[in-house]
Amino acid sequence: MTISVAVSGASGYAGGEVLRLLAGHPSVTIGAITAHSNAGSRLGELQPHLHALADRVLVDTTVENLAGHDVVFLALPHGASAAIAAQLDPSVLVIDAGADHRLEDPVAWEKFYGSPHAGSWPYGLPELPGHRDRLKGANRIAVPGCYPTSSLLALTPGFSAGLLEPDDVVIVAASGTSGAGKAAKPHLLGSEVMGGMSPYGVGGGHRHTPEIEQGLSAAAGESVAVSFTPTLAPMARGILTTATAKVRPGVTPEQLRAAWQEAYGREHFVRLLPEGQWPATKMVVGSNYAALQLAYDAHTNRVIVTCVIDNLNKGTAGGAVQSMNIALGLEETAGLMTQGVAP
């Protein structure tokens, strides 16, 4: 079986990583590669690491160019996906790496994004309870945000198992700079980011906050409130998420570990590390893996879960391709990077 795939937003980091994976996918033929201001350029000028695709020429991101493929990846700024998706054949699988279709709650959407809600699509994080089933045969998939991917993988097992208090979640995450995209902004210059760390979107303002709360609340069966603080780290790729929650009375450390073990024991891409080994982003950079470890702090009665992913891979393009594989009934690991690139 050969699946024809179009990729929009191909000059950005997310689009580039989608292309990197698809170029090695055994069942895929890459069709249209589209961009906005870079239409007409050779891909080799914009993504020079994609050697096999260097001579492909980017075309405009239009419905005409995207139509006629089995799958369309949208790696566009938020707000741009909905209009395009609405014009694509309903039978085409559209995978939106942007934010437009992640949130179920129109009020939360409008509060954080300031535009009309476009509706929500099946959420492409297969390792969450029940999500794999929803992805099978889906024609529309919303790829989770990178911070929500790591945050939900970190804490969902505890909430699903009813072991955690819903009103006291604190998440602090450090992301590589590729999460901020390829648009040239002064604070993202190498001179500014190398050798330093800084927070941003502090105090509940980051747009991934409602997405994290949506996922944890679904797992908990009640409303979960999250204090989320993202920080920018001096590395190109990777997210380290430190997520903590109060443990319900009477829950033992063994029960905690068992819940995570149960959740991920049969998952290919999510690894609960052996006790005593802590995750590091370089374990997973370049790959579709998440690695986790948890600790129980008796002193404060909290579980602390640290989780690492590659924000562009498992956090974006890898999760997208994994979800595509499930939707189309392919081998779930097809085309995905199963080893990190280290050191």
* Binding residues for a copy of itself restricted to 188-227, rule: CB under 8 A: 188-200, 202-204, 209, 225-227
Which of 28-36, 98-106, 114-122, 183-191 is the region at the interface with a copy of itself (rule: CB under 8 A)? 183-191
Please tell me which residue in 28, 76, 95, 146 is annotated as part of the active site. 146
Q: How far is the CB of 164 from a copy of itself (least distance, A)?
A: 14
Strand 239-246 versus strand 3-7 pairing type: unpaired
- Closer by beta carbon to a copy of itself, 34 or else 177: 177
261 binds a copy of itself (CB under 8 A): no
Name the DSSP letter for residue 174. E
* Binding-residue total with a copy of itself (CB under 8 A): 92
Smallest distance, Å, CB 250 to a copy of itself? 18
**Beta strands 3-7 and 28-35: pairing type?**
parallel
Neighbours of 240 (CB within 10 A): 20
Q: Which stretch binds a copy of itself (CB under 8 A): 80-88, 114-122, 135-143, 270-278?
A: 270-278
Distances (CA, A) of 13 to 46, 102, 177, 193, 294: 10, 20, 11, 18, 31
Q: Binding of a copy of itself at residue 341 (CB under 8 A)?
A: yes
From residue 217, give the alpha-carbon distance in Å to each of 103, 158, 203, 278, 300: 13, 12, 20, 27, 23
Q: Which of residues 52-71 bind a copy of itself (CB under 8 A)?
A: 52, 54
By CB under 8 A, tell whether 281 contacts a copy of itself. yes
Nearer of residues 92 and 168 to a copy of itself, judged by Cβ: 168
Q: How far is the CB of 109 from a copy of itself (least distance, A)?
A: 16
**At how many degrees (to 10) do helices 318-328 and 13-22 cross?**
50
State which of positions 25-54 bind a copy of itself (CB under 8 A). 44-45, 47-52, 54
The burial of 153, by beta-carbon neighbours within 10 Å (0-12 exposed, 13-18 middle, 19 or more buried), is given as buried
The CA distance from 53 to 138, in Å, is 29
Residue choice 84, 251, 285, 328 for contact with a copy of itself (CB under 8 A): 285
Interaction residues for a copy of itself, span 139-158 (CB under 8 A): none
Which residue of 101, 131, 302, 314 would you call a contact of a copy of itself, by CB under 8 A?
302
Q: Is 307 a catalytic residue?
A: no
- Please state, in angstroms and rounded to a whole number, the distance separating the CA atoms of residues 293 and 307: 7
Distance CA 137, CA 135 (A): 6
Just list the catalytic residues: 146
